[in-house]
Copies of this chain bind each other. A is one copy, B any other.
C-alpha cells in the first residue's frame, strides 16, 4: 500500500524548522507494512495545498497531512480542506469542552482563539488527540482516505500510533516489506561497499542494498518484499550474517541500535561503571550516554573540565604536564583518565581534550586536533584525531569515536 505525505508550513520551506515528522512517519508506516511513495512540502497557501491533494489522490488511496492545525491565524489547512471537499465548517462542542477542561486543570481560562479553533470541516471524523488541543481529522473521499494531523511532533506521533495506523490497517491491506540494517563505525562508505561486494554482487534481484553514511559511521541496509515473510526474513538474516562476517571489526549493531545503547548494554554485561572527562566535547558524550533510559546503572557521572584550573584541581593533571605538552596532548588525557578514575570511583574512564574550532588552533595543533584516552586501573589506550574546522561536526564525530573506543575497550578487556 502506497502512502502520500503532504507536510504543510511556510516555516519548513524557508528552513525555520526541519521536517522531522515525515521521517518518523516513514519508519512507523514501514514497520506497519505501508510505504511512503512521495513526501511533498508546500506552504500555507490554499492553492498549493489543493494542488498537492489533487496530485496525491491521483497516485494513491492514502494521503497523510501534517501541519497547519494550530490555533493561530497563519493556519489555513482546515478551511482549505472544507473547501476542497465541498463542505462547511461546524463547531465541535466536544473539542471545546475538552480544551476548557484542560485549561481548568492548569488553572487558566480559554480565549476566543480556542473557540475559533473548534470549527471543523463537516465531513471530518475527529481523532482524539491526548497530547494537545487540536484533534486529528479523518476524511473519506471517493473511496480514498485523507488524514490531517497537527505538525507538533509529539501530537502527530500520538495520533499516528493510537489512531491513524490502526485505522489504516483495518481499512487497507498492508504490503509486507522487510528491512535489515547493519550498523558500522570506523570505515568509509566506498571501502565498506568493496569489502562486502562478494556478497552484495550475488544477491537475488529481489533484495536491494543501500549504504547510508553518517559521521564516521555507515549503515548497510537490505530490503526485500513479498508474501512469504518467514522465508524472506530468514534469507535476509542469512545475508546479514554473511556481510557482517566480512567486516566484523566495524559492525557495532543492527536495526535501529544506537552506539550509546550498545555501549550501555556492554557495560551492564561486564558489570562496569563508566565515567567521562570531556573538555572539547563539552557534555555531548555524557548527554548521549544519559539519553538512554536506565543509564544510571553503569554511568557514575562526568566532568566537563573546560578550564585548565579544573583539570589541575579536580583531575590532578600536573601543571608541568600542561606547561610542557599543553591541554591538548596525549600526556594530558592520560593523566585525566587516571585522575578521573579516582575522582569518580569508576571502573573505566574516558578523557577527551581537543580544539573543536572554529578558532583556537595553532600551526603545531590545528583546529580539529583531538586527543582521546580510555583506561582502567591496568591499561590506558590513546588515540589522536585530525578533523576539520567545523565545531559541531567535530564534536559529533569525536563523540562517535569516544563511544566506539569504550566499545572496543570492553570487547578487548
Contacts and interface: CB of A to CB of B under 8 A. Distances in A.
Interface string A291-302: 101111001111
A11 B221 contact: yes
A405 B219 CA distance: 40
A39 B37 contact: no
B310 A306 contact: no
A170 interface: no
A40, A209, A223, A391, most chain B CB atoms within 10 A: A40
Interface string A116-146: 0000000000000000010000000000000
A40 B56 CA distance: 12
Interface in A294-345: 294-296, 299-307, 309-310, 313-314, 343-345
A224 interface: no
A235 B12 CA distance: 25
A97 interface: no
Interface in A31-52: 35-44, 48, 52
A387 to B, nearest CB: 12
Given A15-B25, A74-B210, A210-B74, A299 B306 contact: yes
Contact of A304 (B19, B113, B286, B314): B286
B307 A300 contact: yes
A179 B300 contact: no
Contacts of A393: 154
A13 B37 contact: yes
Contact of A72 (B211, B304, B390, B395): B211
A37 B26 contact: no
Contacts of A18: 18-20, 23
A174 interface: no
A290 B300 contact: no
Contact of A194 (B42, B111, B283): B111
Given A43-B37, A72-B211, A189-B72, A359 B16 contact: no
A392 B16 contact: no
A302 B303 contact: yes
A318 to B, nearest CB: 18
A24 interface: yes
A300 to B, nearest CB: 5
Contact of A307 (B48, B211, B296, B305): B296
Nearest to A45: B37
28 contacts: A10-B208, A11-B212, A13-B35, A13-B36, A13-B38, A14-B27, A14-B179, A15-B22, A15-B24, A15-B29, A16-B27, A16-B219, A39-B41, A70-B189, A70-B213, A73-B209, A113-B193, A114-B190, A133-B190, A281-B290, A282-B289, A282-B290, A283-B286, A293-B391, A296-B307, A302-B303, A309-B345, A314-B314
Cβ-closest 10 pairs across A and B: A282-B290, A283-B286, A15-B27, A15-B26, A283-B283, A39-B41, A301-B306, A283-B287, A72-B211, A15-B23
Given A39-B39, A291-B395, A303-B303, 11 more contacts: A10-B208, A12-B26, A14-B35, A16-B23, A18-B18, A55-B55, A74-B211, A282-B290, A283-B285, A301-B310, A303-B304
